Structure 1
Amino acid sequence: MASYVIQPRKTAKGETRYRCLVRSSTGSESKTFGKHQVAKEWGILRCAAIENEAITGNLRRVTIFELLNMFYEDKDLWAATGRSKRYVIKMLMDCDIASIHADQLRTSDIIEHCKNRRDAGTGPSTVYQDISFLRSVMKKAKPVWNINANWQVFDEAVPVLIDMKLVGKAQKRTRRPTNDELVRLREGLRNRMDNHGASIPFTDILDFSILSCMRIGEVCRIRWDDLNEENKTVLVRDRKDPRKKAGNHMIVPLLGKSFEIVMSQPRTDDRIFPYNERSVTAGFQRVRNALGISDLRYHDMRREGASRLFEAGYSIEEVAQVTGHRNLNILWQVYTQLYPHKLHDKFKTA
């Protein structure tokens, strides 16, 4: 246990100086200051540092690269990691910051990394992911591997990075496909199915994704056993929820023609759409690129579906029952982009 005491002293010129004496089991040290508050702050910091050294004295010391690699090889941690985080962690292992020892990471090192990423054309929101995921791994270093890692440095670094505009939140995405784009996409996907002998029913999955507002991973995961034909609902298992990683099941209504699309699928597998989600999105991307449609992602179909429900007059609570959002504010701000001219149609039916 370290402690400190501050001793005021008069100089030959009559000025008051403050000597801070720090004592611990390993010895003592002192430093003199012109102000009492500065001496006090130094004493607090030195006591904390001495106690931290005593705690971490038996901890292992590795580079950030080694730490990231250990995380990568730990199946219990890696299996629960999403694709985005996996990609970022692999990328960080090739960056200059990976050569620094985890216990010696400084704010200046983090700033330099963020500047390098910015200069390479990476946006502030993506750079923020680097910092967030690196902090997450470093915070696990001591309890999981008995490794000393200075994860507390991020508390100091993040406000500075924000001030320097090196990191920031992602801009709200508002992209919706136009009717013309959807017509062209359906035609292009049909041609792909005919000309390439594709077994994936791209057009059915595209229309179902819009009507159900499901993520493509959820579409490819729903099962025949979870379908209630009488009520026209399906149980969607493990829906994405930041507060709950598993067991977040929801009964979702199959509105409009989505139920008909489901019933038209062959029952050759336990799943209704037994396809790899990456193959579905890859086919969509190839057709989209060939058509010259820019800045349109498959996930935008989810926004399109939610926006259509709002335009049709569904309440936010009803839309949330379809999309699976627990936070209604996120649903309204992120997953809706209403067309103002659609209000004329609603007014005519009022």
Structure 2
Amino acid sequence: MASYSIQKREKADGTNRHRCLIRVKKNGKVLYTEQRTFTKHQAAEAWGKQRVVDIETNGYDNKEAAPITVGEIINKALADESIKASIGRSKLFCLKLLADCDIASVNLLELKSHHIVEHCKLRKSSGTGPSTIVIDVSVLRWLLRIAKSNFGHEVSQIAIIDAYDTLYAQGLIAKSNKRSRRPTAIEIEKLKVGLAERAQQRAAHIPYVDLLDFSILSCMRIGEVCRIRWDDVDETQKAVIVRDRKDPRKKAGNHMLVPLLGGAWELLQKQPRDDERVWPFNERSVTAGFQRVRNALGIEDLRYHDLRREGASRLFEKGYSIDEVAQVTGHRNINTLWQVYTELFPKRLHDKDEQN
């Protein structure tokens, strides 16, 4: 049976648009959708009534009604260069994983909350943790938005939204635990010895120790360090332009001028200038070398990214304010830095109270 509904939407300039959605359902299943947007409600209603009569009288184009699965939408998204260029490595990995899961065979228009819950149960049974499974759910919700905005499929995110309470209540998904791991002084010294030995063994002669020290002092991610070009170095201000710095609201073009403090500037200046990049190495090779040395030393639960937290912590310990540290770390939301600060100095309020 064909039916129509009209939704009113206000654009950024204050003008209204009226979207008329046509649907054909049978036994609760959506067989066909069609939509058109109008500036006037009356025009949208007139078109909707006429289309319903046309469909009831003459039928609809079966090509438009062809079902499409979650997996097919994933493939379309990955084949679209503009979409693929806008997503990070983690989301790309998750999309490829979802394409191999049972949920990939579900008809997009028939996706319900129980499909989401079942997917999360299967992932849990395979040993995947709740903080990882929640990424699946987030990517599935993003996929529904892409299916609608990029490919014109009239789908809703309601299946995801309805599933959230159940997923959290049953412990199938959870927010990731906040990390507070810092390497000890002894661990850093052991790492430097191990990394120096590894640097001598590798044909590429990656300066692991310099990279370790610079990562801590600059508070940069290793990917940001390996992207620094000599053209990005500001000799006057002793700073560098960090290109495409990570920002949840902006995937590319987020360049920042970052001051190099506490010896970071001297470390950069001592590097050979025989390449356009200061450290012309693959970030994965650097982290892989770090991990092998760490494992050989028996150092547990330490990630390369923890060096960034170590660097921020040192700046706080030197007396820099939160907004000053944010200029180095690039945090847009200083709440994250505030959490680091309060962990470092839990007694600061008691100390102030004793002084008064």
1:154 corresponds in structure 2 to 160
2:13 corresponds in structure 1 to none
Please state how far the C-alpha of 1:210 moved relative to its aligned partner.
0.1
Aligned residue-pair number: 302
Residues 282 and 51 (structure 1), Cα distance of their counterparts in 2 relative to 1, 3 Å cut: closer
Structure 1, unpaired ranges of 5+: 4-24, 28-45, 344-350
Please state how far the C-alpha of 1:59 moved relative to its aligned partner.
5.1
Q: Give 2:290's match in structure 1, choosing from 280, 284, 290.
A: 284
2:96 corresponds in structure 1 to 90
1:201 corresponds in structure 2 to 207
Give the letter aligned to residue 338 of structure 1: L
Residues 250 and 329 (structure 1), Cα distance of their counterparts in 2 relative to 1, 3 Å cut: same
1:253 corresponds in structure 2 to 259
Give the letter aligned to residue 324 of structure 1: G
Give the letter aligned to residue 206 of structure 2: I
Q: Give 1:311's match in structure 2, choosing from 308, 317, 333.
A: 317
Q: Does 1:237 align with 2:243?
A: yes
1:119 corresponds in structure 2 to 125
Please state how far the C-alpha of 1:245 moved relative to its aligned partner.
2.2
Please state how far the C-alpha of 1:149 moved relative to its aligned partner.
3.9
2:48 corresponds in structure 1 to none
Please state how far the C-alpha of 1:317 moved relative to its aligned partner.
0.7
1:218 corresponds in structure 2 to 224
Give, in whole Å, the separation in 1 of the partners of 2:221 and 2:84. Answer: 22
Q: Give 2:328's match in structure 1, choosing from 322, 342, 345.
A: 322
TM-score after normalising by structure 2: 0.78
Give, in whole Å, the separation in 2 of the partners of 1:140 and 1:229. Answer: 44
Query: After superposition, what is the alpha-carbon deviation per residue over 1:249-288, rounded to whole angstroms, capped at 9, x for unaligned?
Result: 2211111111111010000111111111111111111111
Residues 131 and 331 (structure 1), Cα distance of their counterparts in 2 relative to 1, 3 Å cut: same
Contact 1:307 1:337 (8 Å CA) reproduced: no
Give, in whole Å, the separation in 1 of the partners of 2:111 and 2:79. Answer: 22
Deviating more after overlay: 258-267 vs 334-343? 334-343
Please state how far the C-alpha of 1:26 moved relative to its aligned partner.
10
Contact 2:117 2:167 (8 Å CA) reproduced: yes
Q: Give 2:172's match in structure 1, choosing from 146, 160, 166.
A: 166
Q: 1:285 is paired with a residue of what secondary structure?
A: helix
Give, in whole Å, the separation in 2 of the partners of 1:95 and 1:51. Answer: 24
Structure 2, unpaired ranges of 5+: 6-21, 36-59, 350-356
Matches within 5 A, 1:1-350: 54-55=33-34, 58=64, 60-333=66-339, 337-338=343-344
Residues 81 and 336 (structure 1), Cα distance of their counterparts in 2 relative to 1, 3 Å cut: farther
Give the letter aligned to residue 202 of structure 2: H
Residues 51 and 89 (structure 1), Cα distance of their counterparts in 2 relative to 1, 3 Å cut: closer
Residues 336 and 299 (structure 1), Cα distance of their counterparts in 2 relative to 1, 3 Å cut: farther
Give, in whole Å, the separation in 1 of the partners of 2:67 and 2:182. Answer: 49
Give, in whole Å, the separation in 1 of the partners of 2:346 and 2:204. Answer: 38
RMSD between superposed Cα atoms in Å: 2.8
Contact 2:67 2:109 (8 Å CA) reproduced: yes
Please state how far the C-alpha of 1:146 moved relative to its aligned partner.
3.2
Detail structure 1 runs of 4+ shifted over 4 Å in the superposition. Answer: 49-54, 334-337, 339-343
Residues 297 and 336 (structure 1), Cα distance of their counterparts in 2 relative to 1, 3 Å cut: farther
Give, in whole Å, the separation in 2 of the partners of 1:164 and 1:258. Answer: 47
Contact 1:118 1:166 (8 Å CA) reproduced: yes
TM-score after normalising by structure 1: 0.79
**Identity score, percent:** 55
Residues 341 and 101 (structure 1), Cα distance of their counterparts in 2 relative to 1, 3 Å cut: same
Give, in whole Å, the separation in 2 of the partners of 1:144 and 1:115. Answer: 30
Give, in whole Å, the separation in 2 of the partners of 1:295 and 1:26. Answer: 53
Q: Which has the larger radius of gyration?
A: 1
Q: 2:258 is paired with a residue of what secondary structure?
A: strand
Residues 275 and 59 (structure 1), Cα distance of their counterparts in 2 relative to 1, 3 Å cut: farther
Give, in whole Å, the separation in 1 of the partners of 2:30 and 2:71. Answer: 27
